Structure 1
């Protein structure tokens, strides 16, 4: 009986892992869209970059983004509206030690540790200078 319980447990874990990698990012993105959270974050640095979406077999592409390092919100990325032509200008808008109101998704915040272990950084959905 113990062997059967271990087998079922291992199978459930494997199903969870496959489901997460197959559908998890889409589920998280949908939940984040419906559950926005605004945080006040102090910018430490910002820079234009590109993130790889390449799989182990070389299939994929690059996504232009702005990397934001913050004092109290951690590492964030801005991708919406960012292109190779404007990424430097967008990065230059963020000033060191300025406070910004930054919109993130609730799931990305709550699952930050797990997502970080998988190499995913919370994506900024909106921002403005805090007054």
Structure 2
């Protein structure tokens, strides 16, 4: 069986970093991924929830922000939960195994229009995750 997802998109807001009761870091963020084709030639995007664990979660929370371009490699996870009215719901999310930063953070003194370093080698791979 194979469950592998690769996405490139931009964060819609700052990552939300929390810790489990046992002290394990978990960060969540939403990635806006452009669709390749649209009916009216208008840009369309899918908004995909991403979950990152452990040290990589802390790194994402410290260095990523709204609008940052990232590549996410991971697996699709579907989970069920009961909402506040007791109705059974399903949520789809990508559990990231590898998050690669594809641009650099804008520095406070950066000049408008300056190249922000697309394709930089800042990022982390699965060898960096202590599982």
State the TM-score bracket (shorter-chain normalisation).
0.3 to 0.5
| Larger Rg belongs to | 1
Higher relative contact order (CA 8 A, sep 6+): 1
Instruction: Give the structure with the larger helix fraction.
Output: 1
Q: TM-score, normalised by structure 1?
A: 0.47
